[in-house]
Structures are given as structure tokens and as C-alpha cells.
Structure 1
Amino acid sequence: MLWQLFHSDAHQLEFTLKPGQMVAFDNRRVLHGRREFDPNSGAHHLQGTYLDRDMLASRLRVLARTTA
């Protein structure tokens, strides 16, 4: 039953990104994965990083003030 929930189209989002785009998500609340690499379909790159929540919240507040 859990497997069916994970693989249900109703519970999945899939993104095709253009050069220069990125997706950010809270890994504590999101189960994520990726499709297998197919050498015939082109380049495939995945890069991860970790952020401190307080630092991120602070930076977002500064950006909101300076771009408003």
C-alpha cells in the first residue's frame, strides 16, 4: 500500500529544468528520487547541498527587504 502511494501519479511531481534553473525543497518533508541515467538521452547532473534553516530564513528576509 505504501509503495502504491509513492508511485501514484497523483503524489508525484516531475520537472525538466532548463540550463540555469534549479529546484529547492525541504528534504525533511519530501521523499525524492530520480530516474535512472540513460546515456542516449543526454547529460544528467544532480548536485546536493545542505543549508542551515536559520541562515536561509535570514537571507530570505534580507532579500525580501532589498528587492521590495
Structure 2
Amino acid sequence: MKLLVNGNHLQVPSNVFTIADVITHFFKHDPIVIVEHNGIILEKNNHPKQIVADGDKIELVEFVGGG
């Protein structure tokens, strides 16, 4: 499946079905991340339920600490 992730056209494996799967695919840790899926910002509790489809546009914004 091809997705547009943060402005990049990317191929993801066939085991990616949900937004939670997308996050797991792109991050090796459990990030604090805001997700926009096809123009709609999703609440975290919807990540495991939100299905992705070929051609979807996803924006992932990770919050990191520092100082």
C-alpha cells in the first residue's frame, strides 16, 4: 500500500492496517505523536481503530523534550 506520509510517497508493508500500525512502522519507540489522517486530527484512542487505505495522506508530528 502507498501512503503520503509527511509529504513523502511511501510504500508500507501489507501488515499495516491502522494508524497505530503506521506509527509502529515508522517509530522504534512509543512516541508522543499527533496524527492527521486525510486532513482530520485523530485522538490517540482512535489510532488502533482508524483504518488506512491506499493513497491516504498522513501527517505525523512527534513531540520531543529538550532544553
Q: TM-score, normalised by structure 2?
A: 0.29
**Structure 1-normalised TM-score?**
0.29
Q: Highest relative contact order (Cα 8 Å, sep 6+), 1 or 2?
A: 2
Larger Rg over CA atoms: 1
Q: Higher helix share goes to which structure? A: 1
